[in-house]
Structure 1
Amino acid sequence: MRSKLFSLASLATVTLAAMAGSAHAASYAIDPAHTYVTFEIGHFGTSTNRGRFDKKEGSVVFDREGKTGKVNITVDTASVNTGFAAFNKHLQSADLFNVEKFPSMTFAADQFSFTGDKVTEVSGQLTLLGQTHPLTLKATNFNCYNSPMLKREVCGGDFEATLDRTAYGMNYGIDWGFPKNVRLVVQVEAVKQ
């Protein structure tokens, strides 16, 4: 009987500790005016093709004290923008992002790594072209501040990762020597709700 009581007390303590830790979690909404998802890929070993996605939305739950969080970002793949209409159209085609069949890509993460109170990595799953694989975004910059304009806390930073596009079935140009690795750069700011 004593061991059962001890087990119940231990379970209650762990549950209360978890609840106390989550009491510091706050919800944030992605600020589309300060959030950009861009990509870079080599072009025949000569230059670098770059593009961005103009439409994105998402949310963050962040607990700085508990060093935990969750991120959900959805990117409208049809909003790809390279500054050149013909290139945009090709990127939207079935050769690459296939926006008619796959109108969005998503990043869902629930593993945050910290150094002190700064986020250093966010790990989760990227879904692109109907394929889902692990992706870790490494922070090159991270900060939270009180916005004088919004009168709210804003947290965010610059993150980057390199992904193998062929893992998602994006094989266009591989036979011609286009690289399979794509550099993904994410600038994100989220406003506390």
Structure 2
Amino acid sequence: MKKTLLIAALSAVAASAHAAPATYALDPTHTFVTFEIDHFGTSTNRGRFDRKEGSVQLDREAKTGRLEVTIDTGSINTGTAPFNKHLQSADFFNTAQHPSAKFVSDRLVFDGDRLSEVQGQLTLLGRTQPLTLKATRFNCYQNPMLKREVCGGDFEATLQRSQWGMDWGLKMGMPDAVRLVIQAEGVRQ
């Protein structure tokens, strides 16, 4: 009888331990936010944001979680200083009035045990619109150097920048579609 009660108590403790989501802090050295936009059908302009931060709460057993990523829009880096300045101006990111963009999700979609989508809201230029990031890969592993679990993956979406009021150059033939790619790794806290 005592053995049965002990097993039941241990099972209850183990079940409650699995029920709580784990929290992961995004590792800025393994997290990159990049974008690509067609340049008049000739080449592709690419850039990244050098400063970003965020966290993830993930319960892999329940297949639930929450993701929050804040991007410093003034940290935009295309490798060309004059282009960076133009992108920081009111024509595009208007970093003086909107120094950050934010993606928040509380809906993770799984296909079996594989994370397939992260559905959320992107706030950019003071406007919030829905955005779904497709998970092209996702994995958790024990980091041998940190001695902690790390989860991460590659996530991407194509968005229409005009949805957030970023319409400079559209009448000149610049495209509206922007490919957004977020490579992220979070360290379990």
TM-score, normalised to structure 1, is: 0.88
**Runs of 4+ residues deviating >4 angstroms:** 19-22
Aligned Cα root-mean-square deviation (Å): 1.3
Opposite residue 122 of structure 2, the aligned amino acid is: L
1:151 Cα deviation after fit: 0.4
Of the three residues 176, 179, 189, the one matched with 2:185 is: 189
Number of equivalent positions: 175
CA distance in 2: counterparts of 1:141 and 1:63, whole angstroms: 17
Q: Residue 87 of structure 1 aligns with which residue? A: 83
Opposite residue 171 of structure 2, the aligned amino acid is: D
Opposite residue 95 of structure 1, the aligned amino acid is: D
Opposite residue 32 of structure 1, the aligned amino acid is: P
Gaps of 5+ in 2: 1-14
Gaps of 5+ in 1: 1-18
CA distance in 2: counterparts of 1:95 and 1:32, whole angstroms: 28
Question: Residue 68 of structure 1 contacts residue 112 of structure 1 at CA under 8 Å; is this kept in 2?
Answer: yes
Question: Residue 143 of structure 2 contacts residue 149 of structure 2 at CA under 8 Å; is this kept in 1?
Answer: yes
Opposite residue 36 of structure 1, the aligned amino acid is: F
TM-score, normalised to structure 2, is: 0.90
Q: Residue 169 of structure 2 aligns with which residue? A: 173
Question: Residue 32 of structure 2 contacts residue 48 of structure 2 at CA under 8 Å; is this kept in 1?
Answer: yes
Alpha carbons of 1:21 and 1:132: their partners in 2 closer, same or farther (altered >3 Å)?
A: farther
Of the three residues 98, 105, 109, the one matched with 1:109 is: 105
Q: Residue 130 of structure 1 aligns with which residue? A: 126
CA distance in 2: counterparts of 1:50 and 1:145, whole angstroms: 30
Q: Residue 72 of structure 2 aligns with which residue? A: 76
CA distance in 1: counterparts of 2:165 and 2:94, whole angstroms: 11
CA distance in 1: counterparts of 2:181 and 2:69, whole angstroms: 14
Of the three residues 153, 159, 172, the one matched with 1:163 is: 159
Q: Residue 115 of structure 2 aligns with which residue? A: 119
Asked whether 1:35 is paired with 2:35, we answer no
Q: Residue 44 of structure 1 aligns with which residue? A: 40
1:93 Cα deviation after fit: 0.5
1:88 Cα deviation after fit: 0.5
Opposite residue 135 of structure 1, the aligned amino acid is: L
What is the aligned-residue identity percentage? Answer: 65
Deviations 1:67-110 (A, max 9, x none): 00000110000000000111001100010000000000000000
CA distance in 1: counterparts of 2:144 and 2:18, whole angstroms: 27
CA distance in 2: counterparts of 1:152 and 1:21, whole angstroms: 17
SS for the counterpart of 1:34 is: coil
Question: Residue 24 of structure 1 contacts residue 66 of structure 1 at CA under 8 Å; is this kept in 2?
Answer: no
SS for the counterpart of 2:29 is: helix
